[in-house]
């Protein structure tokens, strides 16, 4: 039973490595997934080699502590990546506007033949955001935190311009990171057979009891 724990952790680590929304976040995620893979491999080898039961428990505890520290370091890297992505997107918007090529407006829902959709539907989207959300960064003064996350689904199904609106700044920032880490692209909104940019709103509420 104990040896299976390491395999389960490894599978969890690599589960969300494919087809992510954003190249900067994908690169950062791959780096930390590799670090988890190597740690998992070394701890598993040490765990299986050890015969003493107490030592095995100590190895498991050490592994858990290493992973918590790695999660924290990863989150710091993701915050830096978020700042980089937002700055790049703002610069691109400014550049396109100066050349009159940036489509600021997105169509109304009533104009669409098909809405933008996430694979598996709205509930799958919410569950994946919750799974990717780094809750250890939140210092809770409330049991329930809420935000509306607004973003643009681009014509190719990727997302951009993610902005969370809520009372807790850290919660907002972690929600934005989680959106950029989504493992799948959307099906874009369609008007007259053509994919169009579409502004999407995702209400989020999390209970931290």
- For the chain, the structural domain boundaries read 2-96, 103-207
Average pLDDT over every residue of 65-85: 95
Greater pLDDT, 50 or 108: 50
Average pLDDT over every residue of 99-104: 52
pLDDT at 73: 96
Task: Assign residue 133 a region (left: φ > 0; alpha: ψ between -120 and 50; beta: otherwise).
Answer: beta
pLDDT over 70 at 62, yes or no: yes
With a threshold of 0.95, does the pTM exceed it?
A: no
For the chain, the average pLDDT equals 84
pLDDT over 80 at 162, yes or no: yes
pLDDT at 107: 79
Identify the band that residue 84 occupies on the pLDDT scale cut at 50, 70 and 90.
very high
Which residues does 115 contact at the CB level (< 8 Å), separation at least 6?
A: 109, 189, 198
pLDDT over 60 at 141, yes or no: yes
Identify the band that residue 99 occupies on the pLDDT scale cut at 50, 70 and 90.
low
pLDDT at 182: 93
Concatenate the DSSP letters of all residues of 31-64 into one string.
HHHHHHHHHHHHHHHHHHH---HHHHHHHHHHHH
């Amino acid at each position: 039973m104990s040896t299976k724990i390491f395999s389960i952790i490894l599978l969890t680590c690599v589960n969300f490595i494919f087809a992510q929304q954003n190249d900067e976040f994908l690169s950062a995620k791959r780096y930390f997934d590799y670090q988890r893979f190597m740690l998992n491999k070394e701890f598993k080898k040490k765990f299986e080699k050890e015969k003493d039961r107490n030592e095995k428990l100590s190895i498991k505890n050490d592994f858990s502590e290493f992973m918590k520290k790695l999660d924290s370091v990863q989150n710091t890297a993701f915050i830096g990546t978020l700042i980089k992505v937002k700055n790049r997107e703002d610069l691109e918007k400014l550049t396109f506007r100066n050349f009159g090529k940036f489509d600021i407006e997105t169509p109304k829902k009533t104009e669409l033949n098909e809405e933008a959709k996430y694979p598996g539907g709205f509930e799958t989207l919410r569950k994946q955001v919750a799974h990717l959300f780094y809750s250890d960064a939140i210092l809770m003064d409330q049991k329930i935190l809420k935000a509306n996350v607004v973003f643009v689904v681009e014509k190719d199904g990727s997302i951009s311009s993610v902005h969370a609106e809520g009372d807790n700044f850290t919660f907002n920032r972690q929600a934005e990171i989680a959106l950029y880490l989504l493992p799948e692209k959307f099906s874009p909104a369609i008007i007259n057979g053509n994919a169009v940019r579409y502004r999407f709103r995702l209400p989020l509420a999390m209970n931290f009891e």
